[in-house]
Structure formats: C-alpha cells, structure tokens
Amino acid sequence: MKAECFMEANPEAQRVAAEWVAKAENDLRTAALTLRAEGQRPTDTICFHAQQCIEKYLKALLVLNGSPFPRTHDLTSICALLPDAWRPDVPPAVLERFTDYATVTRYPGDYTEIPVVEARAALATARKIRKAARAILPTSAKRAPRRH
C-alpha cells in the first residue's frame, strides 16, 4: 500500500470512516492485550482480531473512496475493490490465511491450534497494514468519532 495524500471526502464519509477506524483500533488493542496475557493464550482470538483490524481499515479506505463493498471477511475480495496504489503489500496467500482467521478458525471442525509465533506475525501484519492505511486516511478519519 503506497502512502498518498487522500482527496478530501465528504464529511459524512469521513465520519463513517472514523467509525470504522475506531472499531479497527479496538480490534488491534484486543489482539495486542491478548497476546501479552500470561499463561495459555487463545491464539485464534488474537488472529481473529488482527484480521478484523485489517478488514476495518480497508473498509474505512473504501468508504472514503466512495466504493461500495459487500458484507464479507474475504480480504482478497476487499483489496480488489481498492485503487491499486492503496492495496496492501501483502502476498495473496497471507490475505487468504487472514480470511481463514475470520472464518475457519472461529468454529469447530477443521480447526487446528495456531502457534504463538503465527499469532505474533498476524499482529505484526495488522500493524503494518494499519500504518499504511493511516498514511492514506485524512486526519479527520483518524480521530475517534464523538459520542452523543
């Protein structure tokens, strides 16, 4: 994802994007706190929240770009809707694995334990994409929305 100045979006789009960003920040915070927990860490939860952080930052960019998007956790599909210059510099296989964190690993069945080293890498990837997205977002979309 290349950092570029974002054209000023309408105030409503900026407000909605800020809401997506606030939720993304909560997910990032949850993943980081859970990773730092003592004892056995729920790595599926860490990876899920890392995925959610990425998904919500990408959706904030789509809101500001005026691009509609479906209700999906598929990061590959979401990235395809972004302008080329805004797409994360992440291999497709990594995006697919993140999609699994939001779907397959959340339910019983084919689930296998995620190693802590993979959870750390997921959090690092979320931080990398967050940094790139925030370089594109206007300042107004990076502030927490006001509560009424």
What is the rounded distance in angstroms from the CA atom of residue 39 to the CA atom of residue 101? 22
Length of the chain: 148
**pTM tops 0.95, yes or no:** no
Per DSSP, 40 falls in state S
pLDDT digits (tens, 9 = 90+) for 99-124: 999 988 877 877 788 999 999 999 99
C-beta of residue 133 within 8 angstroms of C-beta of residue 83: no
What's the pLDDT score for residue 105?
81
User: Cα 130–71–80 angle (5° rounding)?
Assistant: 60
Residue 5 pLDDT: 43
* Per-residue pLDDT at 10: 85
pLDDT digit string (tens) for 120-143?
999 999 999 999 999 999 887 777
16-142, CATH topology level: Four Helix Bundle (Hemerythrin (Met), subunit A) (1.20.120)
In 3D space, the residue among 119, 67, 70 whose CA is nearest the CA of residue 97 turns out to be 119
What is the structure's pLDDT at 69?
92
Q: Retrieve residue 87's tokens.
A: 């797409």
Question: Does the pLDDT at position 144 exceed 80?
Answer: no
Which whole number is the average pLDDT over 75-81?
96
Of 117, 116, 118, the closest CA to residue 39 belongs to 116
Domain boundaries, the chain: 16-142
pLDDT tens, position by position, 37-62: 988 899 999 999 999 999 999 999 99
- Which of 144, 120, 86 has the alpha carbon at shortest distance from 78? 86
The reported pLDDT for the residue numbered 109 is 78
